[in-house]
Amino acid sequence: MKKREDIRNIAIIAHVDHGKTTLVNEMLKQSDTLEGHSEISDRAMDTNDIEKERGITILSKNTAVKYNGKQINILDTPGHADFGGEVERIMKMVDGVLLVVDAFEGTMPQTRFVLKKALDQHLTPIVVINKIDRPGSRPAEVVDEVLELFIELGADEDQLEFPVVYASAINGTSSYSEEIDSQEHTMVPVFDTILKTIPAPIDNSDEPLQFQVAMLDYNDYVGRIGIGRVSRGSIKIGDQVAVLKLDGSAKNFRVTKIFGFIGLDRVEIQEAQAGDLIAVSGMDDIYVGETVTPVDHQEALPILRIDEPTLQMTFVANDSPFVGREGDFVTARKIEDRLRHQLHTDVSLRVEDTDKSGAWVVSGRGELHLSILVEEMRREGFELQLSRPEVIYRDVDGVMSEPFEMVQIDTPDEYTGSVIDTMSQRKGEMKNMESDANGQTRMTFLAPSRGLIGYSTEFLTMTGGYGIMNHTFEEYLPVIKNWEPGRRNGALVSINAGTSTTYSLQSVEDRGQLFIGAAVEVYEGMIIGQNSRDADIAVNVTKGKNLTNTRASGKDHSAAIKTPKAMSLEESIEFLNDDEYCEVTPTSVRLRKKILDTNARTKADKKRKKG
């Protein structure tokens, strides 16, 4: 069978922060791709500001490097399970994977997640043991761990014969030996292993076209852009082709632009053939999984499966007393347009109308997936309110089921008791527990997703910041009945509007943990802290000290309050109860009660308890 020896198509897969994007950077720098004068920044593949700040990849990226006269097309994939829908579709575009594993941490939950997707597609693997120079690195043990994982995930004999390259991507070094002294400032072992191991695509360019869209991009000038692989045949600008829709219908269109990938650029090309990874424009409403074919030879490829959402939140137009002060876009129409626009490129997202005006149910793959959308919106100038996240229940074979996740926790030994206790309260079932000689314990639990909402903040506090928790969706299992997780502590709620004073906050701080300091403007119904007990308390944080002629010397100068807890967007979302909203603006994240009026809220609470 004829092969296209001039190209290779690979995906780089790994757990979060194991160095995929840094490795791609070095491959770009050390290949024959960039001009001598070209500068490349660190983590150049992470183009989104949030990706750069958080050090994670959210959207898959295409690049290509030239080496020894051949082109290696590379897809840098997200490592976080919330973006797993991206990973699964990418596997259909490549012939092999580079599995990057941290030489110290070893295999992690998302290593398992992404590797399973690759093995299911029978892709050829190469293992890169990265961060070989990290203190405490244990490359030999990690290779054994990787082999065990391959066996556990049902790898075939060919896949078990994977080659291993050892690297320090951040230093731009690699070698075939686990010895740190053997590292040299070169990526040649990585390049050579790819060319030798990864199969070249089959060259069936003379057959009728088949091009399947695996990812979407959007551009205001050309509209939707379908990204995928030419599985068969060839495609050129000006061709009249048919898009075979997911519902079985077909729609004809003319190819207006074709883009290839080289280095960090998307370049216009005239023609592409079998094996090429390309982007095509000219189709107004093309969707992931649809196949482009000749008009007279309509043969669809199997539809790509897209991971369904597991978590939902209600997005509501801001109606707080501070509405419009900090944001440019506050109307329901603007928010809805923005959410609908997100659907152009994010195929794992769902947006549904509700019976309440200015409110939409937005469903995604997890808390991170949804919180990143919110973060993008606030940076663009939007104001909105968010409800407490809820898991999405499903009927599986006639049984009402809920999503469960595999949770891996690494923590110093002294915190294991607290972790086990809190995970059991959240209905987590321990699957495995191992301790090492360094005083660290690794525990694995299977836990319902709704039990994990709000757990990460509690976990970090409990382990003094030394614990590491990773979780990934596992499966839908029957709903755990007669159990409702939620925040155990009540809220400290402002009883009036005004500006907070040190004097009034001093009288409140003994009640719990404050979220605001002095000289902060508040409104009635705004949550200003967490009660140390389980009930909400209405508090006055705006009253000043009565002035008298008699002063105790130095008394006023020493007035101070404890440092309030600054709540991040994620922590605020995790904090929410059913009767609360998180108000998000470009400059502030506030917590509030849905019913702001203190008396009306008290009556509603009594009514709810009676009911």
Look at the block and give the residue holding tokens 């705006």.
542
Pick from 47-61, 450-464, 597-611: least confident: 47-61
Structural Rg of the chain based on CA atoms? 27
Q: Could you give the residue range(s) of every CATH 3.40.50.300 domain in the chain?
A: 7-197
Q: pLDDT value at position 548?
A: 56
Q: Are 116 and 475 in contact (CB under 8 A)?
A: no
Average the pLDDT over 239-252 and give the result.
89
d(CA 89, CA 93): 7
Average the pLDDT over 401-428 and give the result.
91
**Where does the pLDDT of residue 237 fall: very low under 50, low under 70, confident under 90, or very high at 90 and above?**
very high
- By DSSP bridging, strand 223-232 and strand 234-236 are unpaired
Per-residue burial over 58-84, b = 16 or more CB atoms within 10 Å of its CB, e = otherwise: bbbbbbbbebeebbbbbbbbbbbbbbb
CATH tag for 491-610 (out of 2.60.40.60, 2.40.50.250, 3.40.50.300, 3.20.20.60): 2.40.50.250
Furthest CA-CA distance within the chain? 99
Stated pTM of the model? 0.78
| Plot region of 387 (φ>0 → left; ψ -120 to 50 → alpha; else → beta) | beta
Q: Are 349 and 342 in contact (CB under 8 A)?
A: yes
Cβ-based neighbours of 113, under 8 Å, separated by 6 or more: 81, 84, 87, 472
pLDDT mean across residues, the chain: 85
Q: pLDDT value at position 83?
A: 56
d(CA 145, CA 141): 6
What is the per-residue pLDDT across 294-304, written as a single tens digit (0 to 9) for each? 999 999 888 87
Q: Is the pLDDT of residue 426 over 60?
A: yes
What is the per-residue pLDDT across 220-229, written as a single tens digit (0 to 9) for each? 777 778 889 9
Cβ-based neighbours of 511, under 8 Å, separated by 6 or more: 492, 529, 531, 532, 537, 539
Q: Could you give the residue range(s) of every CATH 3.30.70.240 domain in the chain?
A: 394-478
d(CA 268, CA 287): 22
Q: What is the 3-state secondary structure (H, E, C) of 327-351?
A: CCECCHHHHHHHHHHHCCCCCCCEE
SS3 assignment, position 262: strand
d(CA 301, CA 264): 29
Average the pLDDT over 537-555 and give the result.
69
Binding-site annotation: residue ranges: 17-22, 130-133
**Where does the pLDDT of residue 125 fall: very low under 50, low under 70, confident under 90, or very high at 90 and above?**
very high
Would you give the distance in Å from CA 433 to the centre of its chain? 27
Q: pLDDT value at position 546?
A: 65
- The span from the first CA to the last CA of the chain, in angstroms, equals 72
Provide the percentage of residues in the chain whose pLDDT is more than 70. Answer: 91
Q: Are 214 and 262 in contact (CB under 8 A)?
A: no
Q: Is the pLDDT of residue 50 over 50?
A: no
DSSP 358-422: TEEEEEESSHHHHHHHHHHHHHTTB-EEE---EEPPEEETTEEEEEEEEEEEEEEGGGHHHHHHH
Give the CATH number of domain 210-294. 2.40.30.10
Binding-site annotation: residue ranges for GTP: 17-22, 130-133
Q: Is the pLDDT of residue 54 over 60?
A: no
Q: pLDDT value at position 51?
A: 39
Cβ-based neighbours of 484, under 8 Å, separated by 6 or more: none
Q: Residue 457 is inside which H or E element, if any? A: helix 455-462
d(CA 510, CA 525): 20
The amino acid sitting at 333 is: R
DSSP 213-261: EEEEEEETTTEEEEEEEEEESEEETT-EEEEE-TTS-EEEEE--EEEEE
Average the pLDDT over 444-467 and give the result.
86
Average the pLDDT over 213-219 and give the result.
81
Provide the percentage of residues in the chain whose pLDDT is more than 90. Answer: 47
33 vs 447 pLDDT, higher one = 447
Q: pLDDT value at position 467?
A: 85
- Cα–Cα nearest to 100, from 159, 19, 21: 19
Backbone angles phi and psi of 288, in degrees to 5: -60, 135
Per the structure block, which two tokens stand in for 557? 């100068």
CA torsion 159-160-161-166 (nearest 10°) is 100
SS3 assignment, position 54: helix
Q: Are 127 and 159 in contact (CB under 8 A)?
A: no
What is the per-residue pLDDT across 552-589, written as a single tens digit (0 to 9) for each? 444 444 457 788 998 988 889 888 988 999 999 999 99
d(CA 271, CA 72): 18
Q: Could you give the residue range(s) of every CATH 2.40.30.10 domain in the chain?
A: 210-294
Q: Is the pLDDT of residue 218 over 80?
A: no
| Plot region of 366 (φ>0 → left; ψ -120 to 50 → alpha; else → beta) | left
Per the structure block, which two tokens stand in for 277? 């990874």
**Where does the pLDDT of residue 75 fall: very low under 50, low under 70, confident under 90, or very high at 90 and above?**
confident
Backbone angles phi and psi of 371, in degrees to 5: -70, -30
Q: Is the pLDDT of residue 56 over 60?
A: no
| Plot region of 414 (φ>0 → left; ψ -120 to 50 → alpha; else → beta) | alpha
Q: pLDDT value at position 446?
A: 94
Q: Are 458 and 426 in contact (CB under 8 A)?
A: no
d(CA 562, CA 585): 26
The amino acid sitting at 250 is: A
The yes or no reply on domain 7-197 and CATH 3.90.440.10 is: no
What is the per-residue pLDDT across 465-517, written as a single tens digit (0 to 9) for each? 888 887 878 889 999 998 888 777 899 999 999 999 999 999 898 999 999 99
Topology of domain 394-478 in CATH is Alpha-Beta Plaits (3.30.70)
Average the pLDDT over 600-610 and give the result.
85
Q: pLDDT value at position 315?
A: 96
Q: Are 115 and 99 in contact (CB under 8 A)?
A: yes
What is the per-residue pLDDT across 353-376, written as a single tens digit (0 to 9) for each? 999 999 999 998 888 788 889 998
Look at the block and give the residue holding tokens 């972790």.
419
Cβ-based neighbours of 303, under 8 Å, separated by 6 or more: 246, 289
484 vs 538 pLDDT, higher one = 538
SS3 assignment, position 207: coil
- Cα–Cα nearest to 165, from 12, 46, 45, 4: 12
What is the per-residue pLDDT across 383-408, written as a single tens digit (0 to 9) for each? 999 999 999 999 999 999 999 988 88
Distance (Å) of CA 574 to CA 125, 455, 582: 38, 8, 10
DSSP structure class, residue 39: -
Q: pLDDT value at position 82?
A: 53
Q: Are 101 and 130 in contact (CB under 8 A)?
A: yes
